[in-house]
Chains A and B, each alone.
Chain A
Amino acid sequence: MANTQREIQELLADYAGALRDGCLPTFLKSLTREEARRISESPDFWEATEVVRLMNSAGFGDNVVTPDVGLFISRVDAAIASRSKQAKASTREHSRSQVNSQ
C-alpha cells in the first residue's frame, strides 16, 4: 500500500485484500486525505464493498468457525458472570448510599 494516490479500483482491491486477510485497520490507516475523499464521493466503491463482503463470506467464512464451541461458551459465561457481579455491586452501592442519606 505504498502508493499514496490510489485510484478507486486500487482502493477497492486493497480494501478487499485487507478484509480477506483480516487486517482492515492497516487499510484504514493507509488512507490519505485525498483517498478518503475519493472513497466518500464514489457510489461505485460503496456498492462494490457490499459484493466484496459477500464474496469474502462465501470464500472464507467457513474457515472462521472454531472447532471448540464449548470453550467459547465458557468465555461467554464468564462475561455474563462478570456483568452480573457488577450489576449486584452497583445495586449494593446504590442501596448503601440511600441508607447513608437517610
Chain B
Amino acid sequence: MDKALRNALRELTSSDAESRRRAMEPFVRSTFGIFIRHLHRYLGNEVECEDVLEDVYADIWENPDHLRAIDSEAQLLRTVYLYYMRKRLREVYRRMNRSSYLSANDMQNLIAPELGLCDLISQTELKQILHRLLGKLKARERKAMELWMAGMSNRAIANQLETTVGAVKMLEFRTVLKLRRMLKEYCEED
C-alpha cells in the first residue's frame, strides 16, 4: 500500500475528530480514483457517483472503526464497499421501489449487490483480463463486445455485423454468459 495512504489511514482511525478531518484530504487524494471507478460499476453516472462518494467519505470520518488494521488496497476497497458504499447505494434507489415492480431484494441485488467475481481487482488488471478473455471468443462475439464497449448502440452494432438488433441482443447475452464462465475459471485458478 502507498505510504501516503497508510499514514492517512492511521490518522483517520484516531479518536480525535479534528485529526480525522485533517487526514481526510490525503485519504481522498489517495483513494478517490479507486472508489469512484468502483462506484461507477453500479451507478454508471458520474454525478451520482460523486454525490454517493461524498457521503461515503463523511461516513468514514464519522465512524472509521471498520478501517482499522487495513493491510492492502484490495482489503480497503472491500471494507469500504461492504460497510460504507453499499448502504449509500441502497439509499440512492430506495425511492425507486415505489415506482418499480422489482422486489426490494432484487432492487438491492441490482444496485448494491454482494461482491462478485473479480470485483476487487484493479482497473488495470481488469482490463488485461478482459482483453485476454475477449481474445478467446469467436470473431463475431468479440466484435460485438468490443463495439459495445466502444459505446455503440445495439442498432449500430447490428449494422456493423449485418444482422438484426434482436440477434445482436441474443449474441451479447450468450457472449456475456460465456465471458462469465471464463472469468469464473480465471478467478478460481487464481
A80 touching B24 in the complex, CB below 8 Å, given contacts A36-B103, A48-B177: yes
Residues of B within 8 A of A63 (CB): 46
B14-65 interface (Cβ within 8 A of A): 17, 21, 24-25, 28-29, 32-33, 36-38, 40-46, 48-50, 53-55, 57-58, 61-62
- Structural contact, B177 and A55, CB atoms closer than 8 A: no
Tally B residues with Cβ within 8 Å of A.
68
Kindly state whether residue A32 has any CB partner on chain B within 8 Å.
yes
A55 touching B130 in the complex, CB below 8 Å, given contacts A9-B170, A9-B173, A20-B151: yes
Residues of B within 8 A of A46 (CB): 109
Residues of B within 8 A of A79 (CB): 54-55, 57-58
Contact partner of A40 (CB less than 8 A), chosen from B102, B116, B179, is B102
Contact partner of A80 (CB less than 8 A), chosen from B21, B46, B173, is B21
Residues of A within 8 A of B150 (CB): 59
Residues of A within 8 A of B48 (CB): 22
List the B residue with the shortest CB-CB distance to A55.
B149
Considering the chains assembled together, what is the distance between the CA atoms of A69 and B26 in angstroms?
11
- Structural contact, A58 and B173, CB atoms closer than 8 A: no
A6-28 interface (Cβ within 8 A of B): 8-10, 12-13, 15-25, 28
- Structural contact, B100 and A31, CB atoms closer than 8 A: yes
Considering the chains assembled together, what is the distance between the CA atoms of A52 and B145 in angstroms?
10
- Structural contact, A69 and B29, CB atoms closer than 8 A: yes
Considering the chains assembled together, what is the distance between the CA atoms of A28 and B109 in angstroms?
13
**Distance from A10 Cβ to chain B, minimum over Cβ atoms (Å):** 5
**Distance from A4 Cβ to chain B, minimum over Cβ atoms (Å):** 12
**Distance from A64 Cβ to chain B, minimum over Cβ atoms (Å):** 5
List the A residue with the shortest CB-CB distance to B149.
A59
- Structural contact, B180 and A50, CB atoms closer than 8 A: yes
**Residues on A facing B (Cβ under 8 Å):** 8-10, 12-13, 15-25, 28-29, 31-33, 35-37, 39-40, 44, 46-66, 69, 72-73, 75-77, 79-80, 83-84
Known: A40-B102, A58-B130, A69-B29. 12 other contacts (CB 8 A): A13-B169, A13-B173, A20-B44, A28-B96, A28-B107, A33-B101, A51-B180, A57-B41, A59-B149, A60-B151, A76-B61, A83-B61
Closest 3 CB pairs of A and B: A22-B45, A9-B173, A36-B101
Write 16 A-B pairs (CB below 8 A) sorted by A numbering: A12-B173, A24-B43, A28-B96, A40-B106, A47-B177, A48-B177, A53-B116, A56-B40, A56-B41, A58-B127, A60-B40, A64-B49, A65-B33, A72-B28, A77-B25, A79-B54
